[in-house]
């Protein structure tokens, strides 16, 4: 016991911060004051929304980038460059298409001084372990997504790492394949057949974290921080329908939507304010569908987010984007892990198409600063037309090009639906002519 206490943890992250330069030259703080310790024998989950800095933290642990401040150590030694004993599995499988399965897996050992015979032996054992026996000589393009990700695993396992880092390893797979891989991995882990000592898995999928992890760190965004840590004491194999499992999922949903409650919203719930607000390109059809679903039975205007995610087959992240957009538009609010319709949201659900569009347009112009601006500019110009570049430039003062493009696309789609303006893709021009 004493020895356990005195052994340095596998990885120790202390007060780590990381910022990146933005286009405009300002620094953006992505991680702030992050503490995290990983000990031997545990599967730790890092759960947070897209953009909260999870991959950045993982890259710091993998020695691929440095923290701006704070300390990152592996077995007591500062991390400078990739530490030996840490391997990573990526979301996109990152296999070499011109190499066979066996060659791709052997590649994991290339950097280490392992002789050829040993290399082959260990690669074959890893391939066998993850269930790809018989596919040693196949090329990646001959494999399904699930099989490719198994190769990705094998390549990381072959080095017998102390710590396996997994960055959203199942998110590129279809639902069934992902579930099979998760359970296969947990089975092997419980049987003690996996060669690593610990796993750090990054995910934005709440149920996945509860299904797999011994401990979950819930990350908040802007900047990323560990907002909560919880232990999952349920025995494996875990049952998603177990009331204790549901309770944990519920608690985490509540925690992850808490900061988006109306009171906090102005401060941090919605990234950026005014014209600099980032808009997720959420489909108007899906918004309308969600408002209808929540207005109707059995919800009657108030729905539990995990229930909604399950019944609409939405990932938590998508549901958060939807909920936040409806919140921005004042059609709903997220509160204590529930989505609650406002009076306007309930009214929307009862209206005919044309009346819906008018109500939607009214809320767009009032509550979405970018759309309000587009409309004002069009109203003021004698031509009643304006190029997209006029707004794109302004957006890029506040956010990266990619985000500006997404924000503009969202505004265009919503504005068209509400007939606030029309937009011509060819000439990239907004106008008030023939609103569609």
Beta bridge pairs of residue 51: none
Q: Does 68 bind ligand ADP (CB under 6 A)?
A: no
Q: Does 30 bind ligand ADP (CB under 6 A)?
A: yes
Q: Does 54 bind ligand ADP (CB under 6 A)?
A: yes
> Which of these segments, 43-51, 80-88, 225-233, 281-289, binds ligand ADP (CB under 6 A)?
43-51
Q: CB 66 → ligand ADP: shortest distance, Å?
A: 12
- For the record, the structure tokens of 217 come out as 């760190």
Q: CB 51 → ligand ADP: shortest distance, Å?
A: 5
Q: Report the candidate in 65, 321, 40, 85 with the shortest Cα–Cα distance to residue 198.
A: 40
Of residues 12, 34, 43, 48, which one binds ligand ADP by CB under 6 A?
A: 48
20 touches, from Mg ion, ligand ADP, none (C-beta below 5 to 8 Å by class): ligand ADP
H-helix or E-strand spanning residue 57: helix 54-61
47 touches, from Mg ion, ligand ADP, none (C-beta below 5 to 8 Å by class): none
Q: CB 29 → ligand ADP: shortest distance, Å?
A: 9
> Which of these segments, 52-60, 150-158, 177-185, 240-248, binds ligand ADP (CB under 6 A)?
52-60
| Helix, strand, coil fractions of the chain, as percent rounded to 5 | 45, 20, 35
> Which of these segments, 53-61, 262-270, 290-298, 363-371, binds ligand ADP (CB under 6 A)?
53-61
- For the record, the structure tokens of 140 come out as 């990646």
Binding mask 301-340 for ligand ADP (x = CB under 6 A): ----------------------------------------
Q: CB 52 → ligand ADP: shortest distance, Å?
A: 4
Q: CB 91 → Mg ion: shortest distance, Å?
A: 7
Q: Report the candidate in 206, 207, 213, 217 with the shortest Cα–Cα distance to residue 241.
A: 207
Q: CB 117 → ligand ADP: shortest distance, Å?
A: 39
H-helix or E-strand spanning residue 219: strand 215-220
> Which of these segments, 3-11, 48-56, 255-263, 273-281, binds ligand ADP (CB under 6 A)?
48-56
> Distance (Å, rounded) from C-alpha 337 to C-alpha 249?
10
Q: Does 51 bind ligand ADP (CB under 6 A)?
A: yes
Beta strand segments in 130-197, E: 163-167
> Distance (Å, rounded) from C-alpha 88 to C-alpha 14?
21
Contact positions toward Mg ion, by CB under 5 A?
55
**Cβ-count burial 405-433 (b if 16+ within 10 Å, e if not):** bbbbebbbbbbebbbbbbbeeeeebbbbe
Pairing of strands 385-387, 86-89: unpaired
> Distance (Å, rounded) from C-alpha 324 to C-alpha 269?
8
Q: Does 56 bind ligand ADP (CB under 6 A)?
A: yes
Residues that bind ligand ADP (CB under 6 A): 20, 30, 48, 50-56
């Amino acid at each position: 016991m004493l020895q356990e206490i005195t052994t340095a943890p596998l990885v120790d992250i202390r007060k780590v911060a990381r910022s990146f330069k933005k286009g405009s030259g300002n620094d953006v703080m992505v991680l702030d004051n992050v503490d995290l310790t990983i000990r031997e024998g545990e599967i730790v989950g890092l759960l947070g929304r897209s953009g909260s800095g999870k991959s950045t933290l993982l890259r710091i642990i993998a020695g691929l980038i440095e923290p701006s401040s704070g300390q990152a150590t592996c077995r007591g030694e500062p991390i400078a460059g990739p530490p030996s004993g840490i391997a990573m599995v990526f979301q996109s499988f990152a296999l070499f298409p011109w190499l066979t399965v066996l060659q791709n897996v052997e590649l994991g050992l290339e950097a280490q001084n392992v002789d050829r015979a040993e290399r082959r032996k260990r690669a074959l054992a890893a391939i066998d372990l993850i269930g790809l026996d018989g596919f040693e000589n196949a090329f990646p393009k001959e494999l399904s997504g699930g099989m490719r990700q198994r190769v990705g695993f094998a390549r990381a396992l072959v080095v017998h790492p102390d710590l396996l880092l997994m960055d959203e390893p199942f998110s590129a797979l279809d639902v069934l394949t992902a579930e099979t891989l998760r359970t296969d991995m947990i089975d092997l882990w419980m049987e003690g057949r996996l060669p690593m000592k610990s796993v750090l898995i990054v995910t934005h999928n709440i149920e996945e974290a509860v299904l797999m992890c011994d401990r979950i760190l819930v990350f908040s965004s802007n900047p990323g921080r560990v907002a909560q840590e919880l232990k999952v004491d349920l025995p494996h194999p875990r049952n998603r329908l177990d009331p204790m499992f549901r309770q944990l999922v519920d608690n985490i949903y509540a925690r992850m939507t808490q900061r988006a409650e109306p009171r906090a919203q102005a401060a941090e719930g919605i990234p950026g304010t005014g014209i600099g607000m980032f808009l997720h390109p959420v489909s108007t059809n899906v918004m309308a569908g969600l408002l209808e679903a929540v207005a109707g039975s059995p919800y009657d205007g108030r729905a539990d987010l995990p229930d909604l995610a399950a019944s609409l087959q939405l990932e938590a992240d998508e549901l958060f984007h939807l909920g936040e957009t409806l919140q921005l538009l004042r059609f709903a609010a997220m509160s204590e892990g529930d989505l609650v319709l406002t009076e306007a949201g309930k009214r929307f659900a009862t209206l005919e198409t044309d009346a819906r569009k008018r109500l939607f347009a009214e809320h767009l112009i009032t509550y979405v600063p970018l759309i309000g601006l587009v409309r004002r500019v069009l109203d003021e110009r004698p031509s009643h037309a304006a190029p997209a570049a006029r707004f794109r430039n302004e957006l890029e003062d506040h956010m990266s090009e990619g985000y500006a493009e997404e924000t503009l696309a969202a505004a265009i789609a919503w504005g068209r639906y509400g007939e606030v303006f029309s937009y011509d893709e060819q000439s990239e021009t907004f106008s008030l002519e023939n609103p569609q």
